[in-house]
Structure 1
Amino acid sequence: MLHADLAIAARTFGLPELRRIFDGAGITHVELEVLPWWWTTDERRRVSDQRRTLLLDAAEVLGARTIKVAAEGGGRPVDPARFHDDFDRLATQAGNAGARVALEPMPMTNLSTIQAGVDFVTAVGNRNGGLTVDTWHVHRGGTSYAELERILPVEYLFIVELDDADEQIVGTLWEDTVNARRLPGEGIFDVPAFIAAIHRVGYRGHWGVEIISAEHRKLPVRDGLTRARAASLQALDAAERLVASAG
C-alpha cells in the first residue's frame, strides 16, 4: 500500500478499520511503501520523517512485515557514512515496530544495480534491513539472471516483484518505470526464468506483481486485478515447470 493512500485511510476511517478490511478479505501479506530521503539533512528530511512515522505506525496496526525504502534519485552522490548509518538506524527502528525495511536498487538511483544494493546492505549488516528485487530493475540495470543467482544472499531478500516491459525504454528511465511497464508475459523479459533464478537463490516467500502503467491505470480496479493475477499465475506456473525440468 502506497503512503499517499495510507494517509487518506488513516485520517478518514482509520487504520484499525483498514486492518479489519484486510483481514475480512483474506489478505495475509501486507507491504507498505515508500520512504525516500531518510539520510538527508535538508528540508526533504522533514517530509521523510513525517512519512516514516506514518509508515511505522501503520506497520504495527496493519501487521505489515516490510516497508519499501528508496535510494537517492538521479544517481546523485550521498555521504557514504551517513547513508550507511542512517539505514542502520532506520532498520533498527523498523525492527522495534515489528517490521523491516527493503531498499530497492534502481538504475536511476545511486544504487543502480543489484550488486550495488547487495554490497550496501551486507556492509550495513542489519537483519532488519534488506532488499527489494524487481524484474524491471534487474533487467534495466543490466544484471543477468545467472549473476543474480551468484550475488544475491537470500537472507537479505525481503521483497520480490514481477513485471515486464518492452525492449526499448519509453522516455526517461523514470518515465518508463512509472508509465510503460507490462504484465508478466506481455513484454520481452523472461519472467519465468527470473522466478526460477530467485527460487534457486533460496527464496521461498510470496511474490508480488508491480504493474505501473498508464494503460493499466485506465482499467476498472476489478479488471486490473484480474489481469494481474492471471498473468502472474501463468508466469509462476511456467517457472515451476522450469524448476522441475532442471531438478
Structure 2
Amino acid sequence: MEHDLLATSWTWAGDEPISERVHVVGAAGFAGLSLSLDDLHEVRATTGFAELRRMLDGAGIVWVQLGPLDRWWTCTSRTDDDAADRGVVLEAAAALRAWQVIARADTTLPGASPITMADDWTVLADQAAAVGAQLVLEPEPWSNLPTIERASRFVVAAGHPNGGLLLDAMHTLRGGSTLASIRQAVAPATLAAVELSDGLLHTPAGMTLSEEAREARYLPGAGAWDLPGLVRTVRELGFDEPWGVEVRTPGHRAMPIGDALRTAAAATRAVLDAADAYGAPAAPAMPSSPAPTSAVDFEPPHPRTDPRGRTHWGSHRPAGRRDADTGTPA
C-alpha cells in the first residue's frame, strides 16, 4: 500500500538553497513538507511565494504545512516579530495553497489557563479559513496544554469548524499518553495531522524533554515506541494521510540531505507497512517436494538396454521396488 509522507521542517533542514532542498524532498518520495517561519521570511524577501509554488509543483509536493505560530493569543509578551510571523504565514498560506497552519500552545506560562486563549483561537481559525488553510494545535508536554487529550478538549470547547489537532508522537508519548488514552479521550473530529518519530524508552539522562525533542527524535522504527500501534490507533479515530516524519538527531543532520530524506522515508514506510500487516492472514507455507523417508527407500536410476543394444537412462523404472544395496526385490 502506498502512503503520502510529509517531511517536517527539521527533517529537510539544511544549508542548501531552498529550491534544491524542495527538489530533494520530492525525489526522496515525499508528497508534502512543512515550511518553517525562517523559510517563509527568506522566500518572501527573495524569490517570492509564487516562484516557491512553482518549485513545489515541479517536485510533486501537494501537502504544505506552515509554522508553527507562537504567542497568537493576547499576552504581554507578544512582540512585533510575532505579528510579522502571523502576517507572513497567512500571506504564504494563500499563495502556496497551504493545507494547514500550525499553532503552538503557551510554553512561557505552562500554568496559564487555556480558557483565556479560546477567543484568540477562534480569530486565528477564521483567518486561516479565509486563506484556505486549516488551523491545527500542537500540544507540548512543557506547555499549558501538555497532553493530546487536554488539547482535544480545548479544540472541542472552542467549537470552531476550522480548528484541529496535531498529534506529535514524541510530544504525545512523553506527555504521558497511552494508546488506550488516545483512543478513549481524543475526539475523532479534532485529529487533523500526525507526526511520527521514535525515541528511547526513557528520556536520556541529563536531557530535558524539550532538549530530547530537539536532539533525540530517531528514525521511525529505530527506537522503543510502538509506532505501528500508534498508527493503528489514529486510523481507528479516522486519520488517514499524510504521515508527517520528524527526525532530529546529530547523525541525521550530518548525512547528505538526499540520503537523510531517503532513509527517513524508507524507515517510515516500514512502520506503516507493519501497521498495514497487523491482523492480516499469515502467508501460506512454501510448497515442498516429496522426499524419500530413508536412504533404504531411495532407488537410483538404472540404465536399460533396448533390443538394438542402445542404453537409456531414467526413462523406465523396473516394475518392482528393489533394495538399494542388494538389488533384490524389496
Which of 222, 228, 233 is matched with 1:192 structurally?
Answer: 228
Distance in 2 (alpha carbons) for counterparts of 1:76 and 1:216: 31
Specify the alignment match of 2:213 in structure 1: 177
Specify the alignment match of 1:78 in structure 2: 112
- Contact kept, 8 Å, 2:113 with 2:144, in 1: the verdict is no
C-alpha change, 1:43 and 1:142, in structure 2 (3 Å) is closer
Shift of 1:75: 5.3
Shift of 1:213: 2.3
Shift of 1:79: 5.2
Which of 158, 183, 200 is matched with 1:149 structurally?
Answer: 183
- Contact kept, 8 Å, 1:166 with 1:188, in 2: the verdict is yes
Q: Secondary structure at the match of 2:170?
A: helix
- Kindly provide the CA deviation profile for residues 115-141 of structure 1, in whole angstroms up to 9, marking residues without a partner as x: 110110000010111110011112101
Shift of 1:4: 0.5
Structure with larger RCO (C-alpha < 8 A, sep 6+): 2
Distance in 1 (alpha carbons) for counterparts of 2:130 and 2:279: 37
Tell whether 2:284 aligns with 1:234.
no
Specify the alignment match of 2:259 in structure 1: 223
Shift of 1:166: 1.2
Which amino acid letter does the alignment assign opposite residue 67 of structure 2?
E
For 1:131-146, what aligned pairs fall within 5 Å after superposition? 131-146=165-180
Which runs of 5 or more residues in structure 1 are unaligned?
none
Distance in 2 (alpha carbons) for counterparts of 1:33 and 1:213: 21
Which amino acid letter does the alignment assign opposite residue 218 of structure 1?
A
Which runs of 5 or more residues in structure 2 are unaligned?
1-34, 282-330
Distance in 1 (alpha carbons) for counterparts of 2:216 and 2:227: 16
- Kindly provide the CA deviation profile for residues 28-68 of structure 1, in whole angstroms up to 9, marking residues without a partner as x: 11111110101133242422221011011101111111011
For 1:20-35, what aligned pairs fall within 5 Å after superposition? 20-35=54-69
Which amino acid letter does the alignment assign opposite residue 188 of structure 2?
V
Specify the alignment match of 1:40 in structure 2: 74
User: Percent same amino acid at aligned positions?
Assistant: 38
For 1:101-140, what aligned pairs fall within 5 Å after superposition? 101-140=135-174
Q: Secondary structure at the match of 2:107?
A: coil
Distance in 2 (alpha carbons) for counterparts of 1:81 and 1:108: 17
For 1:55-66, what aligned pairs fall within 5 Å after superposition? 55-66=89-100
Distance in 1 (alpha carbons) for counterparts of 2:44 and 2:116: 31
TM-score w.r.t. the length of structure 1 is: 0.94
C-alpha change, 1:5 and 1:243, in structure 2 (3 Å) is farther
Aligned residues: 245
Specify the alignment match of 1:49 in structure 2: 83
Distance in 2 (alpha carbons) for counterparts of 1:155 and 1:243: 26
Which of 189, 200, 207 is matched with 2:243 structurally?
Answer: 207
Shift of 1:77: 2.8
RMSD of aligned residue pairs (Cα, Å) = 1.5
Specify the alignment match of 1:159 in structure 2: 193
Specify the alignment match of 2:4 in structure 1: none
- Contact kept, 8 Å, 2:114 with 2:154, in 1: the verdict is no
- Contact kept, 8 Å, 2:201 with 2:224, in 1: the verdict is yes
Which stretch of structure 1 is more off in the superposition, 78-87 or 109-118? 78-87
Which amino acid letter does the alignment assign opposite residue 108 of structure 1?
W
- Kindly provide the CA deviation profile for residues 161-192 of structure 1, in whole angstroms up to 9, marking residues without a partner as x: 10001122131111000111101011111111
Q: Secondary structure at the match of 1:48?
A: helix
Specify the alignment match of 1:90 in structure 2: 124
- Contact kept, 8 Å, 2:221 with 2:267, in 1: the verdict is yes
Distance in 2 (alpha carbons) for counterparts of 1:155 and 1:81: 20
Q: Secondary structure at the match of 1:30?
A: strand
TM-score w.r.t. the length of structure 2 is: 0.71
